[in-house]
Amino acid sequence: QVQLVESGGGLVQPGGSLRLSCAASGSIFSINVMDWYRQAPGAQRELVARVTSGGVTNYADSVKGRFTISRDNAKNTMYLQMNSLKPEDTAVHYCYVEMKTTYYGAPLGYWGQGTQVTVSS
């Protein structure tokens, strides 16, 4: 069994910062990509940022220069540092992790439970 636990969401004023965490635990052999997605009310879930096993990062245009994704492989944990937050960043943020639980198994994707980020004055 694999579990993803997210933390760090909350209410922040425009221009403020938050740091999200996503910790993977359980039977983990290796982790490939780690992603942050978000879904605003009435909108589709969108990819915000990605970090590969080699540390290569990609960002949605809407968050470039404001958000930073990182991972600690020793802790199987991923982070999203969000600065200069805007009201349009308000959404439930989800982590998605692609991993193998055994040497011979195929990589599978797992979702976190989501954490609410609200940017409002």
Residue 9, pLDDT above cutoff 90 = yes
Residue 58, pLDDT above cutoff 90 = yes
Amino acid letter at 12?
Answer: V
Distance CA 49, CA 23 (A): 16
Identify the CA nearest to 8 among candidates 61, 77, 100: 77
For the segment 25-45, the average pLDDT, to the nearest whole number, is: 96
pLDDT for position 1: 86
* Paired sense of beta strands 18-26 and 2-7, if any: antiparallel
Report the mean per-residue pLDDT for the chain. Answer: 96
State the virtual CA torsion across 97, 100, 101, 103 in degrees, nearest 10: -160
pLDDT for position 102: 92
Two tokens, residue 100: 């193998």
For the segment 23-39, the average pLDDT, to the nearest whole number, is: 96
For the segment 26-37, the average pLDDT, to the nearest whole number, is: 96
99, β-bridge pairs: 31, 108
Q: Tens digit of pLDDT for each residue in 70-104?
A: 999 999 999 999 999 999 999 999 999 999 999 99
Distance CA 57, CA 65 (A): 12
Burial class (CB in 10 A: 0-12, 13-18, 19+), 109: exposed
Q: What percent of the chain has pLDDT over 70?
A: 100
